Amino acid sequence: MGKLNEDRVESIVQLILDDYTDERAVNKTDLYNQPDKKAIIDIVEKLLKILYPGYYSDKIYKIYSLRNNMSATIEDVIFHLKKQIMIVLKYCGTYSEYIDNELEEKAQNMTFDFMEKIPQIRAYLDTDIQAAYEGDPAAGSKDEVILSYPGLYAISVYRIAHELFLLGVPMMPRIMTEHAHGVTGIDIHPGATIGKYFFIDHGTGVVIGETTVIGEHVKVYQGVTLGGLSTKGGQKLKGVKRHPTIGDYVTIYSGSSILGGDTVIEENVVVGGNTFVTKSISKDTRVSVKEQELQFKN
């Protein structure tokens, strides 16, 4: 019986190993030239320490220690970010003919350009914190918003990923936002354009598509979808405006879906809960579902 089991094990091992020999996407085994998802998530966590010193960083009690610690963290991020960007550039057709020295130089320049955007990202996040604190009567303090609000975490990761997306870094921005999606239940594509003072309240189930444009002072509740009308065209729709445009001072309540690249929600609009919007809405409008009829049966 023992010998029979060993033969079966060997047979299964060989069966699976043989299945690795073709060119299917699931068979890529060049581990040294693939992005390291764990390393990219580690970069995200270190960038959060840089964005929010004192909140995500190790406990530090003296200002000189803070400077030394942050200097080391910044240099560490630069080193590892450049390394991962160099790897993901190999997946981009634009750089497929680059030799390693050219890839390294391009990755280094992208890394430096991104790191120089850190003060701008922090300026935007400061407005997002303000919007969350002012927009939620349950918020006890801005500290509470930073440390506990999933919406702010998802927005923070999005703002990191968005800058990398704008620089043309492939794959990595999506890995970052999908990590935040897994942590918070909030799915923001790094290609979306989102203005200052953005607040996602509660957040679970929020979806914001790639070509969405959101203005300033916008507030979104849980279960909101800013999506496309159809993905039937698949890759043929790449680069096409598929998702809505949301103006300034818009509030979108829970469970609402606003769909389509031609759909424009102008400023100062309130979109009520559980609405399904596929047409543009002019400014200063309130949109709601007509009162639903409830049925009670014994």
The CA-to-CA distance between both ends of the chain, in Å, stands at 61
pLDDT averaged over every residue in the chain: 91
Tell me where in the chain the CATH 2.160.10.10 domain(s) lie: 192-290
* 23, pLDDT greater than 80: no
Confidence of residue 232 (pLDDT cuts 50, 70, 90): confident
> What length is written for the chain?
298
* Mean pLDDT value of segment 62-72: 73
> Residue 93 CA to chain centroid, in angstroms?
23
Domain 33-185 CATH (choose: 3.30.460.10, 3.90.226.30, 1.10.3130.10, 3.40.47.40)? 1.10.3130.10
- Report yes or no: 44 and 179 within 8 Å, Cβ to Cβ: yes
Nearest to 277 by CA among 224, 220, 215: 224
Cα–Cα dist 269/246, whole Å: 9
* 1, pLDDT greater than 50: no
Q: What is the 3-state secondary structure (H, E, C) of 228-266?
A: CCCCCCHHHHCCCCCCCEECCCCEECCCCEEECCCCEEC
* Mean pLDDT value of segment 47-51: 95
Cα–Cα dist 244/227, whole Å: 7
Q: Which residues on neighbouring strands pair with residue 219, listed in sequence order?
A: 199, 251
Tell me where in the chain the CATH 1.10.3130.10 domain(s) lie: 33-185
Cα–Cα dist 44/84, whole Å: 12
Read off the pLDDT of residues 165-195 as tens digits, 9 standing for 90 and up. Answer: 999 999 999 999 999 999 999 999 999 999 9
Dihedral through CA 195, CA 199, CA 205, CA 206, nearest 10? -20
* 151, pLDDT greater than 80: yes
CATH topology (fold) of 192-290: UDP N-Acetylglucosamine Acyltransferase; domain 1 (2.160.10)
Task: Please state the pTM of the whole predicted model.
Answer: 0.89
Structure letter (DSSP) for residue 298: -
CB atoms within 10 A of CB 35: 18
Q: Picking from 24-28, 133-137, 217-221, which range would have the lowest pLDDT averaged per residue?
A: 24-28
- Report yes or no: 135 and 129 within 8 Å, Cβ to Cβ: no
Higher-confidence position of 114 and 92: 114
Cα separations in angstroms, 149 against 87, 143, 256, 295: 33, 10, 21, 37
* 161, pLDDT greater than 60: yes
Confidence of residue 4 (pLDDT cuts 50, 70, 90): low
Phi, psi of 270 (to 5 degrees): -115, 120
Scanning the structure block, which residue is given the tokens 């909101």?
224
Cα separations in angstroms, 197 against 44, 123, 132: 22, 10, 8
- Report yes or no: 53 and 125 within 8 Å, Cβ to Cβ: no
* Mean pLDDT value of segment 2-9: 70
